[in-house]
Amino acid sequence: MAYLHTANIISDFPPSHHHHTSAGPFVQHQITPYTNNGGTILGITGEDFVVLAGDTRHSEGYSINSRTEKKVHRLGKESSLVLATVGFGADALDVVETMKRAVEDYKFHHNKEMSPPAAAQLLMTILYSNRFFPKYAYCILVGIHAGKGVLYSYDVVGSYSKSGERRAAAGAASDLIVPFLDNQVELKNQYVPYAWEEEIPVQPLPMEKVRRLVKDAFTSATERHIQVGDGLQIITVAASGVGWGVSEEMYELKKD
Amino acid sequence: MGGFDFSNYARNAALQKQGFPQPQATSTGTTIVGCIFDGGVVIAADTRATSGEIVAEKNCQKLHYITPNIWCAGAGTAADTEFVTALISSQLELHSLSTGRKPRVVTCMTLVKQHLFRHQGHLGAYLVVAGVDPTGINLFTVHAHGSTDKLPYVTMGSGSLAAMSIFESQWQKNLTQEDAVKLCAEAILAGIFNDLGSGSNVNVGIITAEKTTIKRNFIIPNERVPKEQSYRFPRGTTAILKEQMISRAELRKYITIVDMTGKGTVEGDAMEVDA
Amino acid sequence: MNHTPENWGRPRDDIYGFYDKSFLQNTGGAQQHTTRPVVTGTSVVALKYNGGVVMAADNLASYGSLARFTDIKRIKQVGDHTIVGAGGDISDMQYLFDKLLESVLIKEEYQNDGHALRAPHIYSYLARVLYNRRCKFNFLWNSILVAGYDDEKKPFLASADLLGTRFSSPALASGYGAQLAIPILRKIAPDEASVTKITKEQAIEAIKLCMKVLFYRDARSMNKYSLAVISEEGVDLTHGVALENESWKFAETVRGYGAQTV
């Protein structure tokens, strides 16, 4: 069994930006250009829709900065693209702003909306262009492409799967949520009852079921992760005919 | 030879230098407080225990028994608060029996601080020591390095500043028992909602000359909403990779239970086995 | 031969012997950035109410544990519609206030187009400056609060720090205020909806209480502060407000710290 990890409350308190490293008789103050602002994001696709959600707690150390800071952003008023970022808040917002500008510029230049596959590749380029001073922002990008919900997820230097993914989670409680999604979305370790060898076939989930899974994932993460809580922002992008509709739901989470 | 041996510390430091990580213990995260009133003392604690960013326990008890009239609230390394309070509780009991007197809070505080000082801060126990004894009402804090404080209201743990902000803005002299309980609960709530290391419920302990009352889950401000759906799997969902049958008769090869009550040995057949 | 920039233009050691660099303050590299704050200010606290925002910051500038300057103004009025409060390094704060914000205001005035910069614009600008400097590894060692009352008659309050981290909330505080003042302020303003029920008088009272608690417990604070109220009527900024209603009653009964009883 793994040993539990602890933070010595008194000696680490209050949490500070700079860490003291002892070098001979001198104490050198060092500053890191990053911090962790906590929080979690989660996206699940259906047949003709995609849901992207994030909690609204913004924290640093053991303090809550804000209970209402949204992590899921629409990239344009007329666009189906929605981007969620988590990690270091300043970098995360910078990536969002860069993407928003790019989507707007694209519209001005080409008189049409940027497609999700194009936005996905652009996001990769933006993240990789900071390869040696990475933007500490974990991204999930979603949208409607050819009438279907698409989802892409990235590491901080831009690695992503071109073909998209069925679901993704990132941030503080992703370790808690990913196994839940493996089981409930990909139906891992579930077999057709008494037909021992036969796995339950994976099928696109209905929208209501997806929303239920998202809420349960976040209420559970709130129970067990100290950086998750306060509020939940759920954005649904659904294809309708040739276009799409975007809706937002806010849901209360525990505040302790 | 006399003295206290710290060679294990040197060994651990050497191991750590070689890249061998030190085992880390569960921390109680924690907001704990204490406040005296006219006639006694109140202590209170939240109920969250953390291991890093993960909540290890949602409803743990951080108010520790020392003697019927002395209780401790503990913050820091959970195992250290648990064992230090248990050790001192045992020593006080024996001391009380050998002297034939009621244990005193100063004695408890002195035993704790001397024990912690000997260990030079390596025992991560941060305690609020409270009690009523023949000398009167007492409230102390003891830090892991052995320093102590004696004040009418005290806080400890990662939520200590949040809790202290309540005391510093609302405390007044000559509190009634009811007001002291209210104030302590309010201080804990400040920790629960503003400090990520603290959470869940409020536990309260009230000690007077007559009796001690421990109120577990005095306030439950963080109940989880019901889940959106059931996650019960139909029977047979889990794959069976390997099957091995052991007959009841064969079981005797592994386990024999013998009844020694004097009614004679019971045959293995009478043993109850889960179907 | 040593090619590092600090040796450029210096006599070569192999020809002229070891060059005595002891007069140079910086011998570590070519250019040294601010690596730590020197003269510092402590917390800034602020709370929204139903017609604006109240903000306070004390007038102390500390030099380590020395209370160096006791009449420093850490809240600045920026135009007619914005106030900015800063904690952290005082020289960086004065650079932000007197160099950057002043020139931004002058440029804006020069346009004379009837448009004025408001709190969200000033905030975006300052947060971007802080973020750009952190990206150059050349931090402006501050945490700032920006407050205003916007065109839609809603109070505005937001925070930015040396890393460029941005967030907003009905009650904000930097430094020790985040630990000691926020629990008090969040009881009054737990969410945006509750702000509509808070009067100006209640907000001022709450902020004054926070300044008192901070003076009790923050060892780098003082009992004289700047208090600012921003509302539809504009900015009301007072420097040198004295702390009121201190109480040291708890000390009357304190005897020692351990077994001592007299």
Return the amino acid letter for B183.
Answer: L
Closest-CA distance of chain C to residue B57, Å: 24
How large a percentage of chain B has pLDDT more than 90?
75
Q: How far apart are CA A16 and CA A36, in angstroms?
A: 12
Residue B154, chain A, CB below 8 Å: the answer is: no
pLDDT band, residue C243 (cuts 50/70/90): very high
Q: Which residue has the higher pLDDT, A24 or B201?
A: B201
Per the CB < 8 Å rule, is C258 touching B113?
yes
- Quick one: average pLDDT of B131-155? 97
Beta carbons of A172 and A39 less than 8 angstroms apart: yes
Q: Which pLDDT belongs to residue A240?
A: 86
For B237, which of A9, A13, A190 is closest by C-beta distance? A190
A108 by Cβ neighbours in 10 Å (0-12 / 13-18 / 19+) ranks as exposed
Span B207-246, pLDDT tens digits: 999 999 999 999 999 999 999 999 999 998 998 888 888 8
Name the phi and psi angles at C185, rounded to 5.
Answer: -70, -35
Task: Give the pLDDT of chain A (256 residues) as one tens digit per residue.
Answer: 343 333 333 333 333 444 444 444 444 456 789 999 999 999 999 999 999 999 999 999 999 999 999 999 999 999 999 999 999 999 999 999 999 999 999 999 999 999 999 999 999 999 999 999 999 999 999 999 999 999 999 999 999 999 999 999 999 999 999 999 999 999 999 999 888 789 999 999 999 999 999 999 999 999 999 999 999 999 999 998 778 999 999 999 999 9
Per the CB < 8 Å rule, is C35 touching A66?
no
On chain B, the residues whose CB falls within 8 A of the CB of C248 are none
pLDDT band, residue B162 (cuts 50/70/90): very high
Tell me which of B142, B153, B168 to substitute to probe the interface with C (most C C-beta atoms closer than 10 Å).
Answer: B168
CA R_g for chain C = 23
Span C85-119, pLDDT tens digits: 999 999 999 999 999 999 999 999 999 999 999 99
Q: How far apart are CA C180 and CA A255, in angstroms?
A: 18
Tell me which of B24, B53, B223 to substitute to probe the interface with A (most A C-beta atoms closer than 10 Å).
Answer: B53
Q: How far apart are CA C234 and CA C49, in angstroms?
A: 14
Q: Which pLDDT belongs to residue B16?
A: 84
- Residue C42 bears catalytic tag: no
pLDDT band, residue B249 (cuts 50/70/90): confident
CA distance readout (Å), B94 to A133, B108, B207, C46, C74? 63, 12, 22, 55, 60
- Active-site residue identified among B26, B28, B30, B85: B30
Q: Which pLDDT belongs to residue C20?
A: 72
Element (H, E) at C98: none
Q: How far apart are CA C221 and CA C56, in angstroms?
A: 12
Domain coverage including residue C70: 39-243
Tell me which of C172, C180, C260 to substitute to probe the interface with B (most B C-beta atoms closer than 10 Å).
Answer: C180
* Residue in chain A lying closest to C130 (CA): A90
CA distance readout (Å), C213 to A33, C48, C121, C183? 32, 19, 32, 11
How large a percentage of chain B has pLDDT more than 70?
92
pLDDT band, residue C2 (cuts 50/70/90): low
Q: Which residue has the higher pLDDT, C200 or A2?
A: C200
The answer, yes or no, to whether residue C224 has pLDDT greater than 80, is: yes
- Quick one: average pLDDT of C27-40? 71
In a domain, C86, yes or no: yes
Per the CB < 8 Å rule, is C250 touching B110?
no
What is residue B51's DSSP assignment?
E
CATH number of C187's domain: 3.60.20.10
Residue B165, chain A, CB below 8 Å: the answer is: no
Q: Which residue has the higher pLDDT, A73 or B253?
A: A73
The ipTM value here is 0.87
Total structural domains in chain C?
1
Architecture category of domain A40-253 in CATH: 4-Layer Sandwich (3.60)
For C179, which of B149, B151, B161 is closest by C-beta distance? B161
In a domain, C258, yes or no: no
Q: Which of B38-42, C34-38, C105-109, C142-146 is predicted least confidently?
A: C34-38
Mean pLDDT of chain B: 91
User: Judging by DSSP bridges, how do beta strands B54-57 and B49-51 pair with one another?
Assistant: antiparallel
Per the CB < 8 Å rule, is C254 touching B152?
yes
Q: Residue-wise over C58-95: b if at least 16 C-beta within 10 A, else e?
A: bbbbbeeeeeeeeebbbbbbbbebbbbbbbbbbebbbe
pLDDT band, residue C13 (cuts 50/70/90): confident
In a domain, C32, yes or no: no
Can you identify the CATH homologous superfamily of domain B25-219? Aminohydrolase, N-terminal nucleophile (Ntn) domain (3.60.20.10)
CA distance readout (Å), B21 to A6, A12, A19, B122? 13, 19, 20, 16
Query: Hey, which chains touch B, using 3+ CB pairs under 8 Å?
Result: A, C
Q: Which of A6-15, B151-160, B168-177, C227-236 is predicted least confidently?
A: A6-15
H-type alpha helices, chain B: 7-17, 78-99, 105-118, 160-170, 177-194, 248-251
The answer, yes or no, to whether residue C165 has pLDDT greater than 90, is: yes
Q: What angle do CA C126, C169, C178 make, to 5 degrees?
A: 85
Q: How far apart are CA C165 and CA A218, in angstroms?
A: 24
Beta carbons of C122 and C105 less than 8 angstroms apart: no
Per the CB < 8 Å rule, is C183 touching B166?
yes
Rounded to the nearest 5 percent, the helix, strand and coil shares of chain B are: 30, 25, 45
In a domain, C192, yes or no: yes
pLDDT band, residue B26 (cuts 50/70/90): low
In a domain, C234, yes or no: yes
What is the residue extent of each domain of chain A?
Answer: 40-253
Q: Which pLDDT belongs to residue A67?
A: 98
In a domain, C30, yes or no: no
Q: How far apart are CA C129 and CA B237, in angstroms?
A: 57
The answer, yes or no, to whether residue C65 has pLDDT greater than 90, is: yes
